Amino acid sequence: MTATVTVRAAVPADADAVFVLLSGFATSHRPERSLFDRHFPLLLSGRHGGLLVAEDEGVVVGYALVHDLLVLYANGYVCELQELMVDPAWRGRGVGERLVRAVVERGRGLGAVEVTVPTRRARDYYVRLGFEETATYLKRPLLG
């Protein structure tokens, strides 16, 4: 694990670094910078959840995007980890685990019932971090 990596809330100056990471994350959709620039400030507002970044000596090396969902079935909030991306050069050093721990602690602070993560590529990674497989994730495209 890299001792100098810290996790913090994203700020406007992180936009370029997060967009570069996002470009390596997305497989179902192609990130568009103009739309990213419109949505990034909304994510920083905290109204929709949280955007965390991992940085080493001022360089962003990963990010996590979590949404806070107030749901009836759980009698409160569920935090859904929507995106977790670590720069490929930084993988295997514990950066992703630090981001996931920060998301879990953020959820605890909110009083959330659980943290969930929809994934198709990283099932084993999340199971190793203590997540349990509970559902199939389906989607219905609305655009295009």
Domain extents in the chain: 5-128
pLDDT computed for residue 120 by the predictor: 82
Buried/exposed 102-137: b ≥16 CB within 10 Å, e otherwise: bbbebbeebebebbbbebeeeeeebeeeebeeeeee
Return the CATH class of domain 5-128: alpha beta
- Digit-coded pLDDT (tens) for 9-49: 999 999 999 999 998 886 778 899 999 999 999 999 988 78
State residue 2's pLDDT score: 54
- Model pLDDT for residues 122-138, shown as the tens digit of each residue: 999 999 999 999 888 88
pTM (2 d.p.): 0.91
As given in the structure block, the two tokens for residue 30 are: 């192609």
Per the prediction, the chain carries an average pLDDT of 92
pLDDT in tens, 46-59: 887 899 999 999 99
The pLDDT of 75-91, averaged and rounded, is 95
Q: Residue 37's pLDDT is what?
A: 96
Q: DSSP states of 31-75 as a string?
A: --HHHHHHHHHHHHTSSSEEEEEEEETTEEEEEEEEEEEEETTTT
Cβ 12 vs Cβ 41: under 8 Å = yes
